[in-house]
Chains A and B, each alone.
Chain A
Amino acid sequence: MNKVENNRAWFLVTPVFLLVAFSAVIPLMTVVNYSVQDIFDQNTAYFVGAEWYREVLNDPRLHDSLLRQFIFSGSVLLIEIPLGIAVALMMPTRGWTASASLILLAIPLLIPWNVIGTIWQVFGRADIGLFGWALNSIGVDYNYASNPMDAWFTVLLMDVWHWTSLVALLCYSGLRAIPEAYYQAARIDRASNWAIFRYIQLPKLKSVLVIGILLRFMDSFMIYTEPFVLTGGGPGNSTTFLSQTLTQMAIGQFDLGPAAAFSLIYFLIVLLVSWLFFTTITHLDKAK
């Protein structure tokens, strides 16, 4: 076959090239640029190499919020994934109740983050919030504004309320895709309900669970709005997660150099953990 050389064909990739450049490469490179310089004003900037990275990596404030972040994301996954699966298993499959429960589950997903924060901020107040008032009136000393444990509990509850639906809906669609013959065969093989779940439903849910775990990990790892609206990261620093620490550093203190270095590290952590999840799960799959 004759191949025609035509270098003008390169122009065809220009739109994609420009799009990727403006949406990803240029902003990211700007951050890289900041992260290796110490900038005083428009005309004064010094190249500092890996200095900011070293500083950021040794900052105890960041260590603390990184630890908090991992505990938070871990708890989110530990609660939302099993709960989502359980909800999906219990959802009706036919009739109007099926549609009704789908709509009901979709509602939290449609609410903007800051509205969620506001809802729970009011809902949890001991004086005018139903939730806070109810807890206090049955004798539980609940106050998210002063007690770190209560604040944590509220942020977690908020996230579970907001996002379990996503896992449940993903699992629901996965469950619907299992052919009836599997259940029939399992009955004939005298499988218990647990065995049906363990050997039919769970394996068939694996691909949607990978998506669910990745989405929930990435999202919860970057949580910002909800704790910010609820307590502004407090009480103390108890609900100050990574993204808020970063914002304080970049906007509050205007330490652009360290903030840029930190952004890149943050980005790499999300990438690394997601990659680890993904490869572990796909590798488990390939094992003979």
Chain B
Amino acid sequence: MAKFPSVRWFDAVREVFNGDESVQGGGGGYCNCIAGMKVGKDVFVLTFEGVECTEAVKADDAALDDVDFYLDMAPADWREMISNIHSNNGADRHHTLNTLDLEREDGLATSHHGDQYREDLFFRYNQTFQYFFNASARIRTDF
């Protein structure tokens, strides 16, 4: 059981994601970027290298200056997404990252630097990020 949000939770998801070779095909594969996760006031930074998520660390707002993009949702919205993923063994069609992004006025994925080339990595590796969060269906989450 890992509490969301926490480094322990992201590490547990990383372990499932990194150990599942099936997510390296079917539109997954190389993913090289640094992605921020903003859960209310909590900030986490995930590093993706090659076919793995190599690191998850707790950080602060200033760290978001350096990430390629970050996903920003209120804790309740994160909880809804993760619960949905758990219930359906993967996000249903109303809770995919892209859908959540487009349904929000300012989007789910954003950045401090405003460089669209770097923000576009959210689209370029979208299937990988979806695989990553879908992997959370295979751990027990406590909120």
Report whether chain A binds chain B.
no
Binding site for B on A (CB under 8 A): none
